[in-house]
Structure formats: structure tokens, C-alpha cells
Amino acid sequence: MGGAVGLQTHIWANNTRSVILLAMFPVLLVGLIFGVQLIAMGLGLLPNSGRGLGDDLAYAVSMLGATIPLAIVVAGVWFVIAWFGNQAIIDAMTGATKVERRDMPELYNLLENLAISRGLKTPTLRIIETDAMNAYASGLHEGQYSVTVTRGLLNVLDRDEVEAVLAHELTHVINKDVRTMVVASIFAGIISVVAQLVLRSMFYVRGGSRRDNRNAGPLILIGLVIAAVGYGLAIVIRLMLSRTREYVADAGSVDLTRNPDAMISALRKIEGHSTVKAPDEVQGMFLDNQPDKEGIDSLFATHPSIEKRIAALVKYAGGRDLPPPDYGAAVPATRYGTSVPIS
């Protein structure tokens, strides 16, 4: 963020970074396929050149012309399943249930006014019955988008803070972050499964089949290194993608509500109270996750720390980091209104 000088520049810089990170996934997949071929060649499962190590590596490169189309077909099937079943899968993982307008009309109106102010169809609302404070957006296209909040968040945050959180999640919808994260998770899932299959296969394939390849050892070693590096980078890139998107969504919340103080106050209340049980891929979609990661550990965090997010809101959006809130001042969901002008 060093080059950013304003709110819009901050958003553009993060969007550019996200595109670059996402574009690296196909490169990683091709690299992983190459590593798998080297291991299979070393184990005798694929033919080798019968000559030196350099010739075997060149032969593996030539095989990519046939293996990459096969990998694309498998990835395509994976995408179709994820595309049509993603919401049901996420609901099952988090315990979220759909909320009808008659159940929480004030909360629905709050989200609807935010959506109308940007000319959007109102996303569906979902609730997770937990005291933890968190939220996330899901869905892949217009008419399927959903915003999920926890009961704990509604019990503790006041109207302006809930509005800021809803605006944060709506920004993920506006910026197509939800679709981007699903695509990134699918790529990471493919790479993860392939890498795990490679490692597991090492325990079941016997070495006798590779005695006709004098380069078996180096080929297997190089393949394993490539697979390990690709697997690690896939995880790091997916997590970095999530972190950059949270800065943009915080800025988008301010753009929608014109109230950076409410977003800062909401983050302060959520800090340390956001843990919701869910798989890692879904945790990356939450408003907050792993807020205490610092140093080397922060490389594997799905979100920037609350402190860094608030610092960005203060620096780029002119917000104020006020003293800790009074948790006794809870406002029931039925009292929500909205201050967002509807054009």
C-alpha cells in the first residue's frame, strides 16, 4: 500500500494486486502437472527418454501438450460442481439459515437501502446462531448473492455499525470479490488435492518399476520439490488474495455509508470475538479471521489484523479510532433504521 495516496488509489492498488495474484494460479497448476510427470517418470509410470537427466526433463516438457488439456477438463468438471452447489455447501459448513423479510424486516430494510443506493438487487439474508461476531457474503451471480451475519453481531453492534458491516459485505458483492474468492478456492483445492495424491502415491508405488530409469532418484526429487513449492505458493496466494480484498471492502463500506467511524467501531467490537467454526476455505470469506497473526505467521493469515485495517481507515478514509466501546449498549435488530441516502 506504499504507493497509495487516497481512498480510490488504495482500492485500485488492491484490485490490481488481486488480479495479479489470481493470474498466478494457472501457472502454478501447470508447474504442478510438470512435477507430477517427473515423479511418474521416475517411478516408471510414464516412459522416459532413456538418456540423461536433461533429456528426461525435456521429454517431460513435451508431454505437457497432452496432459494440460486433460487437466483442464478435470478442472472444468470441478468448476461446474462448485458453481451450482456452492451456496448449499457453504450453508452446510457454517450452519447458516435463510431469513425471510417477515422475520427481520428492519435488518432486511437496512441491507435493501444499501443495495438500492447502488442500483443492486437486494441479496438474500442469512443468520448463523452463534454468539461470535462475524459476517460474510456468498453467491456467484445476480439473484444468488447472499449476506450472512451472526446472531452475536446483531446483539452487540448498534445500527450504524451493523450498517457498516452490511456495506462491507455488499462491497464484496459489488467488486465481484465473492466470485473471485470461489475461483481462487477452487484452484487452491485442485492444487491441494493433486499435491496430496502425489504424496500419498509415494507410499503405494513400489520402486522396482523404475529400475529401467537411471535418473529415477533426481526426477522424483525434482518433482517433489516442484509439487511442494506449488502447493505452498497456492495456499499463500489464496490467503494474500483474501487479505487484500478486506482492505478494499472496508474502504467500500465507507464509500457506501460515509461513516468510517462506524466501520472502525464495528471492527473494535468484533476484535477477539469473531471465531466461527468452518473450513479454512470458508474462513477466508468472513469479515474477520485470525486477527492476531503477526510476523512470519501473518503470511498464512486469511485477513489483515484489525489494527492494520483500522490504521488504513484512519489514514485513507479520515476515520477516528475512539476508545473501546460499551458492550452493554446492545441494540436489538428490530430497532435498525438507515441513514444511507437512496438516489
Q: How confident is the model at residue 97 (pLDDT cuts 50, 70, 90)?
A: very high
Grid cell at residue 271: 476484535
pLDDT at 141: 81
pLDDT at 205: 61
Average pLDDT over every residue of 267-276: 92
Select the more confidently predicted residue: 225 or 123. 123
**pLDDT top residue among 103 and 49:** 103
Q: For residue 156, name the pLDDT band (cuts at 50, 70, 90).
A: very high
Mean pLDDT of the chain: 80
Catalytic residue among 112, 161, 163, 169: 169
Query: Lowest mean pLDDT: which of 146-160, 182-196, 276-290?
Result: 182-196
With b for 16 or more beta-carbon neighbours within 10 A and e for fewer, the 256-288 pattern comes to bbebbbbbbbbbbbbbebbbbebeebbbbbbbb
169 is catalytic: yes
Over 60: is that where the pLDDT of 31 sits? yes
3-state secondary structure of 125: strand
Mean pLDDT of 131-148: 90
pLDDT of residue 337: 47
Mean pLDDT of 286-312: 75
Q: Which pLDDT value is given to residue 256? A: 93
Spatial strand order of the sheet with 135-138 comes to 97-99, 124-128, 146-150, 135-138
pLDDT of residue 339: 46
More confident residue, 171 or 46: 171
Residue 101: is its pLDDT beyond 70?
A: yes
Using the 8-state DSSP alphabet, how is residue 6 labeled? S
Q: What is the pTM of this model?
A: 0.74
